[in-house]
Amino acid sequence: MKLLLKCQKVNPNITNRAGRTLFWCAAESGHFAVVQILLGREDVNPNIPDDHGRTPLLWAAREGHDELVRLLLKCQKVNLNITNEDDRTPLWWAAARGQFGIVQLLLGREDVNPNIPDDYDQTPLSWAAVQGHDEVVKLLLKCQNVNPNMTGWAGRTPLWWAAESGHFGVVQLLLQHEYVNPNIPGDYGQTLLSWAAGDGHGEVVKLLLKCQKVNPNIKDDDDRTALLCAAEKGHCRAVKLLLEGKDITPDIQDIFGNTPLSMAAKFGYDGVVKLLLKCQKVNPNITNRTGRTPLWLAAEGGHFGVVQLLLEHEDVNPNIPNCYGQTPLSWAAANGNDEVVQLLLAHEGVSPDIPDHNVPTPLWWASFPPNKRAMNLLQARQSANPKAI
């Protein structure tokens, strides 16, 4: 081998069918003596990739061959930031595979760029977070050149990836880092807290709310907060955790004017409605853009239990009409929802004679088409005007 390499006519950069050079083959086989000899030749190119776009350094970093990486790092000709066909660097592969020793070796070089993303905009830190490699994440965060807030696919940061993958240890490491911003929005302006609340990830919500940097009131592109995202999906634990936070503003409306209570009432989430009604800061009479209150939406959806909860609350006004002047009672009577009609009429504060913008009263609505049970219920109410038809 030495004799062949001393021969000037021998081309050391010729590749085989797999695109691998003599240097590549020696590195892969662990023949470090041959690797050293080849690195000593000026005409050897150590950066020639194989058919998969992998150089010897990329391969060694990916497979965890510390000694080979250490040997390659001594050669000035080796490109430490070279990428394969997926734009993944040696550091990317080492971080993704949890190769702690190799990550340490590569970060020790000033000419290594730790923030180069791959084709999917994932950095070494992002992928280490996805895989839950706590020690590698810790190592990367100690590097001053590492940007912990770089966003990748769908606008997700390393913190977001760690949370989505359920790696709570990595989440804690990232939240403890002084430069990590937990409020960076992803696609559609949704923050990590909003995503976790909306998907019911209670542990992630709990971890995030312990971080003083987290703002629970940030709105997404549709003006929805984390609390609204949790309420509209019925996630009681997330709602409870958010309401326990001192900085929470529970009545922030989305672009349609709906509050968290509105959405919980609309979809009939009794448990969430109970939690929200216990919060003194919640106004149960806020109307959305169509003039519907939470009670209106609950009645419209036929959510008997939610209607009952709202009527039991002392601050709820059951007679607030929508933008057409129609009260919850009028709507329930018009749509034949007898149980809701009965429940509303049992409440002393409900007025059975309030007309809408076109004059018809609840009794009128119950008569077209005729709903005898609803009409009887309305007429049985002492305050109902039988001439209101």
Domain spans in the chain, listed from the N-terminal domain onward:
1-112+123-137, 318-389
Residue 330 has pLDDT above 90, yes or no: no
Domain 1-112+123-137 homologous superfamily, CATH: Ankyrin repeat-containing domain (1.25.40.20)
Q: 41-48: long-range contacts at Cβ-Cβ below 8 A with a sequence spacing of 24 or more?
A: 41/5, 41/12, 43/12, 43/13, 44/12, 44/13, 44/77, 45/13, 45/21, 45/77, 46/72, 46/75, 46/77, 46/78, 47/77, 47/78, 47/79, 47/82, 48/13, 48/15, 48/19, 48/21, 48/23, 48/24
| Residues 260, 264, 266, 268, Cα dihedral to 10° | -170
Backbone angles phi, psi at 55, to 5 degrees: -90, 165
What pLDDT band is residue 4 in, cutting at 50, 70 and 90?
Answer: low
77-81 average pLDDT score: 94
CA–CA separation, 42 and 220 (whole Å): 57
Greater model confidence, 95 or 376: 95
Q: With residue 339 as reference, give the H or E element that holds it.
A: helix 338-345
CB 326 within 8 A of CB 333: no
Separation in Å, CA 61 to CA 64, 95, 102, 387:
5, 9, 6, 87
pLDDT in tens, 233-252: 999 999 999 999 888 999 99
55-67 average pLDDT score: 91
Greater model confidence, 24 or 137: 137
CA–CA separation, 367 and 223 (whole Å): 40
What pLDDT band is residue 371 in, cutting at 50, 70 and 90?
Answer: low
Greater model confidence, 353 or 292: 292
Percent residues over pLDDT 70 in the chain: 88
Domains 1-112+123-137 and 318-389 share a fold: yes
CA–CA separation, 282 and 109 (whole Å): 55
Residue 352 has pLDDT above 80, yes or no: no
Q: What's the CATH class of domain 318-389?
A: mainly alpha
Name the residue among 320, 347, 346 with its Cα closest to residue 331.
320
If you average pLDDT over every residue of the chain, what do you get?
A: 89
pLDDT at 6: 60
pLDDT at 148: 97
| Cβ contacts of 82 within 8 Å, gap of 6 or more | 47, 49, 55, 57, 58, 89, 90
88-109 average pLDDT score: 96
